């Protein structure tokens, strides 16, 4: 994978947006683990999927990667806010499963953007 300016910019934006989002969620969640938030499935995860769609549309090349990165950023945020525990590896596996819909949504948004702008 060749590192281009656009790829680096997309990575930096995704990292910043993802860390800020998950830190805010962890801050509002007892215990600091986003997936333990009472409103995770009804509010937090849908917002994360929306952010993945926006990132995919903004950076349509390798758009699936922005969905993966966004959701996977939960794990380091949890490690920093709650500490590293014996279930961190399970949390990583859980985050990777949760990343699949985000990857699909980001890829679809990127494909739609490329199609609307006449690029394949």
How many CB atoms sit inside 10 A of residue 86's CB? Answer: 6
Q: Using one digit for the tens of pLDDT, what is the confidence trace for 53-77?
A: 999 999 999 999 999 999 999 999 9
pTM: 0.90
pLDDT score of 31: 72
Q: Using one digit for the tens of pLDDT, what is the confidence trace for 14-27?
A: 999 999 999 999 88
Mean pLDDT of 90-103: 94
Q: Tell me which range, 1-5, 32-36, 99-103, is most confidently predicted by mean pLDDT.
A: 99-103
The answer on pLDDT for 1 being more than 70 is no
Give me the helices (H) in 1-120, please: 5-28, 45-58, 63-72, 74-82, 88-116
Q: What is the mean pLDDT of the chain?
A: 90
How far is Cα 89 from Cα 66, in angstroms, rounded to an integer?
A: 21
Mean pLDDT of 89-103: 94
pLDDT score of 118: 77
Dihedral of CA atoms 46, 48, 52, 55 in degrees, nearest 10, equals 130
């Amino acid at each position: 994978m060749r590192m281009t300016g656009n790829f680096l910019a997309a990575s930096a934006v995704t990292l910043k947006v993802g860390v800020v989002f998950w830190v805010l969620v962890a801050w509002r969640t007892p215990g600091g683990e986003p997936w333990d938030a009472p409103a995770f499935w009804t509010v937090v995860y849908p917002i994360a999927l929306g952010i993945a769609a926006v990132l995919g549309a903004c950076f349509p090349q390798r758009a699936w990667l922005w969905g993966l990165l966004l959701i996977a950023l939960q794990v380091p945020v949890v490690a920093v806010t709650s500490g590293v525990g014996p279930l961190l590896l399970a949390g990583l596996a859980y985050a990777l499963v949760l990343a699949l819909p985000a990857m699909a949504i980001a890829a679809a948004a990127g494909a739609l953007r490329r199609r609307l702008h006449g690029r394949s």
